[in-house]
Amino acid sequence: MKRLGFYWNLYKAFLRTSLVREMEFRANFWAKVLYNALWLGFFLATLKIIYRHTDSIAGWSESEALVLAATLYFIDALIATLFYFGLSELPTMVRQGTLDFVLFKPVDSQFWISLRRINLDQLGSLVVAVLLGVYALLRLEYLPALPNIALYLAMVLTGVLIFYSFHFMMMTLSIWLVRVENLWVLSDVFAQIGRFPTDVFETVLRRLFTYVLPIAFLATIPTKALLGKASAGFLWFAVAWALAFFLAGRAFWKFALKSYTSASS
Amino acid sequence: MRSLASKVVALLKIYIADSLAYRASAFIWMLTDVVHCLVMPLVWLSAYNGREAIAGYNPGEMVTYYVMIAFTTNFIVSHIMWDLSWEIKEGILSQWLLRPVPIVWRLVAQNLSWRAMRMVLFAPVAALALWYYSRFTPLSPIDLGWTFWLSVLLGHLVSFFTAYALAALAFWLQETQSVFSLYYAPMLLLSGWVAPIALMPGWLQILAMAFPFRYTTAVPVEIAIGKLQGEAMWMEIGLQAVWVLVGIGAAQLLWRKGLRQYTGVGM
């Protein structure tokens, strides 16, 4: 319990330093919000171009696809707020050998690397994502029942954990792939697949993206749960996947550290 | 004095070796294209709902379109402004100003070797993708004749000179990264990457004609799948040539002005 309190205080310190940093570049905040909104707009334009020519994609109406897009955008923004900045520094730390300073600290290294930088200028995107989701539900004229909302929120949480763990594992590859500067693209690709309902894939790929690389659990299955089209049983799957991915990520990190050669020290 | 040609050949050799050293990066960048030509056709195939064609594209043509757009993008679309603007900001450009070969030739060599490697890497993926889709729908015939390659080459030059001109902004602007990021949204939309331009609303199709992007990848792909033929095709190839000249002109102008006030900070 004392340990937990220690980490909680540490996290508050991370939050404080991130906030101070953010206040120094206040003009950046709105620029970032606008910039993120532009890319959301870009994806919505893609959807619009498709739905100009059809009423449904694999059984998904335009408004339903919008709920899905909002969900993925929300998860993406939450990852970007909580973990992205810190993890994106990992390859540089490996290259320059400054990872040593993290490993020497009496703090769990995964905790430190993942959570040290909180990217507050992504908060705007979270709000935009929620607004988009509400707009899409209003367009659908669908009011989800409370159990569906609870199921949805729980699944979004597992989606975040799955996505974070995947991203963490991909960035961990930098321990070996010292010269590769674009590992973050691997997580981008993960999200790129999840933006559309995984129902568009034929059986083999759909199973692959549900049971092997659980992209369906990012947005497709949570959205189905919200719309009352997925059974609650999927939640146990989602929780199992999230835990498995988290533990795998942790084990992978521990394993990778054995190969860390501390390049420049 | 050695001739310019032999200098360029020497540069090409260096940069081919350099590109090969970064093949892991190239492979990862390529995954974006792989996923694009996996997801988008399947989305569209689920959108036909029994109809024979959407805006003149039957399922086979739609699938082939996306595979070809991903294939040509790997060779055509240049991103040199990121590194180049960094060189300007850090003063590293000075090294190249002192060497007995114009900067543009160094960039041509660098860009060409990287893009050629990307295309070679992507070719088996494209073949695999086509084989995969052939199980769902009869594919559209692909014409990879010399007019296609001419158009690909012109598209490559349009994209190269646009990126080259864009990099010059670093002579004046403190922060170029966000400008470059903003460049990608219209670029991806109007180059035909997102969807065939014929599927877009009329006003976007008109807008596409006013930007160079359509003349990078959309034109060669439409030639390959037979959407552009005869006179219309030559018209578009001609416009590609015009955009190459516009790009060269803009890049020349911006670079001449920019270099005049380049201070080489950081050295």
Per the CB < 8 Å rule, is B200 touching A49? yes
The span from the CA of A212 to the CA of B28, in Å, is 20
Cα distances (Å, whole numbers) of residue A60 to A129, A196, A229: 19, 10, 11
Instruction: Tell me the two tokens of residue B56.
Output: 């003149």
DSSP letters for B148-166? HHHHHHHHHHHHHHHHHHH
Q: Is residue A111 part of a domain?
A: yes
Classify the C-alpha dihedral B192-A196-B27-B138 as positive or negative. negative
What lies within 8 Å, CB to CB, of A56 at 6+ separation is B47, B49
Task: pLDDT band for B24, please (50, 70, 90 cuts).
Answer: confident
Nearest CA in chain B to A54: B47
Instruction: Check if the beta carbon of residue B148 is closer than 8 Å to that of residue B223.
Output: yes
CA-wise closest residue to A102 among A10, A9, A5, A8: A10
Which residues in chain B touch residue A38, judged by CB atoms under 8 angstroms apart? 182, 185
Q: Is B71 left (phi over 0), alpha (psi -120 to 50) or beta?
A: alpha
Model confidence at B22: pLDDT above 90: no
CA-wise closest residue to B35 among A81, A144, A215: A215
Per the CB < 8 Å rule, is B28 touching A186? yes
Crossing angle of helices B103-134 and B59-76, in 10° steps, is 160
Amino acid at A242: A
Instruction: Check if the beta carbon of residue A146 is closer than 8 Å to that of residue A227.
Output: no
CA-wise closest residue to B200 among A54, A53, A66: A53
Q: What b/e readout covers A7-28, taking b as 16+ CB neighbours within 10 angstroms?
A: eeebeeebeeebeeebeeeeee
State which residues form the domain around A70. 2-259
CA-wise closest residue to B235 among B245, B246, B243: B243
The span from the CA of A63 to the CA of B157, in Å, is 41
CA-wise closest residue to A13 among A119, A106, A116: A116
Nearest CA in chain B to A38: B185
DSSP letters for B51-119? -S-BTTB-HHHHHHHHHHHHHHHHHH---THHHHHHHHHHTTHHHHHHSSS-HHHHHHHHHHHHHHHHH
Cα distances (Å, whole numbers) of residue B38 to B34, B43, B94, B132, B233: 6, 9, 43, 10, 28
The span from the CA of B90 to the CA of B115, in Å, is 25
Domain boundaries, chain B: 4-260
Instruction: Check if the beta carbon of residue B219 is closer than 8 Å to that of residue B245.
Output: no
Q: Is residue A265 part of a domain?
A: no
Rounded to two decimals, the pTM is: 0.92
Number of domains in chain A: 1
A-interface mutation test, from B29, B32, B34, B46, most A Cβ less than 10 A away: B46
Instruction: Check if the beta carbon of residue A44 is closer than 8 Å to that of residue A72.
Output: no
A-interface mutation test, from B31, B35, B43, most A Cβ less than 10 A away: B43
Per the CB < 8 Å rule, is B32 touching A192? yes
Per the CB < 8 Å rule, is B29 touching A185? yes
Instruction: Tell me the two tokens of residue B43.
Output: 């989305």
pLDDT tens string, chain A, 265 residues long: the values are: 678 899 999 999 999 988 888 787 777 777 778 888 888 899 999 999 999 999 999 999 999 999 999 999 999 999 999 998 889 999 999 988 889 888 988 889 999 999 988 888 888 889 999 999 999 999 999 999 999 999 999 999 999 999 999 999 999 999 999 888 899 999 999 999 999 999 999 888 899 998 888 999 999 999 999 999 988 888 999 999 999 999 999 999 999 999 887 765 4
> According to the model, what pLDDT value does residue B47 have?
94
Instruction: Tell me the two tokens of residue A42.
Output: 């870009």
Nearest CA in chain A to B192: A46
Tell me the longest C-alpha to C-alpha distance in chain B.
67
CA-wise closest residue to A130 among A40, A9, A53: A40
Nearest CA in chain B to A196: B43
Instruction: Tell me the two tokens of residue B263.
Output: 């201070």
Instruction: Tell me the two tokens of residue A108.
Output: 């769990």
> According to the model, what pLDDT value does residue B17 have?
86
The span from the CA of A14 to the CA of A17, in Å, is 5
Q: What is the pLDDT of residues A81-120, one digit of tens each?
A: 999 888 999 999 998 888 988 898 888 999 999 998 888 8
Per the CB < 8 Å rule, is B44 touching A201? no
Residue B54's φ and ψ, nearest 5 degrees, are: -120, 120
Select the residue of A39, A53, A193 nearest B47 (Cβ to Cβ). Answer: A53
Instruction: Check if the beta carbon of residue B101 is closer than 8 Å to that of residue B7.
Output: yes
> Residue range B26-47: average pLDDT?
93
Taking the Cβ of residue A175 and every Cβ of chain B, the question of whether any pair is shorter than 8 Å is answered with no
> According to the model, what pLDDT value does residue B267 have?
47
The span from the CA of A227 to the CA of A133, in Å, is 12
| Most confident region among B88-92, B96-100, B213-217, B262-266 by mean pLDDT | B213-217
